Amino acid sequence: MTAFHLCAALFAAVSLWVLPAAADEAKPTYTLAVVPQLPPLAAHRAWAPFAKRLSEATGTEIRLKIYQTLSEFENDVFKGIPDFAFLNPYEQARVFGPVGYVPLVRDGGSPLKGILVVRKDSAVKTVRDLDGMEVAFPAPNSCAASLYMRALLAEKEKIRITPRYVVSHTNVYRNVILGMTRAGSAANKTFERDTPEVRAELRVLYETPGMVTHPFSAHPRVSLKLRKSVVENILQMTGDGDGRRILNEVQMPKPVQADYARDYKPLEQLGLDRYVVR
């Protein structure tokens, strides 16, 4: 092959690679921020297929933004940076007024609950046995796993605990299994999706009352037309096996349309603001 033919072949190959990229760049681009319940790699693995499918269905490019910590996530959300966000329920209540995020879809299955777990062989038998002990939590502002649980332990159970914040729900379970804390607080939704080996090592000691699940929400700058398309396409994912697997990975196996007044406004009355760390 002559140098001329080699250059021509390379140019053709590069052109084939560039043209699809240029076509993708022509699509409107949106960001999707995901509340960090899992380690970043696990969160990306769960959410990437969802973002890809929703992008294809809506004719957009939805770019995932995965966070290391909840404080980093909340910093972006309260500035209104992400176009879409998967929020915890109390974050939705906190940002609705000042920032305007609108809940579009949530899971309509079992309610979200905070759970206190201990090792299966633990001598801790009741929640009162934890008085004065250190307890693992994912982050100060995790909804059911931290805010609601800490409020109930202090105000209803009248016990004092020392919180140990370990970043993710996954780390909570590992802390307890390894004996680093006697108990840990997380959420039923993440516990159900952890490995059988992890669940076999733990037992649930205490649960919060159920609450509405995490919303998939849109910033008010996202057009009504696109919001409607997003809702329709998420609901339609239940119609095939791949879609159902994708929805299960992102904790929305039974998606339903969300409504702020019905679903999230009641959370304003829980009085959890005094436990929020800003």
Q: Which of 187, 158, 161, 160 is nearest to 172 (CA)?
A: 187
Instruction: Enumerate the domain spans of the chain.
Output: 13-109+213-275, 114-207
Q: Is there a common fold for 13-109+213-275 and 114-207?
A: yes
The answer to whether the CB of 218 falls within 8 A of the CB of 240 is no
Fold for the domain defined by 13-109+213-275: D-Maltodextrin-Binding Protein; domain 2 (3.40.190)
pLDDT in tens, 2-16: 443 433 333 333 222
What CATH number does domain 114-207 carry, 3.10.20.30, 3.60.15.10, 3.40.190.10, 3.40.50.300? 3.40.190.10
The string over 46-77, giving b where at least 16 C-beta atoms fall within 10 Å of a residue's C-beta and e elsewhere, is: bbeebbebbbebbebbbebbbbeebeebbeeb
pLDDT for 5 equals 42
pLDDT in tens, 191-237: 999 999 999 999 999 999 999 999 999 999 999 999 999 999 999 99
At residue 25 the predicted structure's pLDDT band, cuts being 50, 70 and 90, is: low
pLDDT in tens, 109-126: 999 999 999 999 999 999
pLDDT in tens, 148-159: 999 999 999 999
**C-alpha to C-alpha distance for 33 and 19, rounded to whole angstroms:** 28
Give the predicted TM-score (pTM) of the model.
0.87
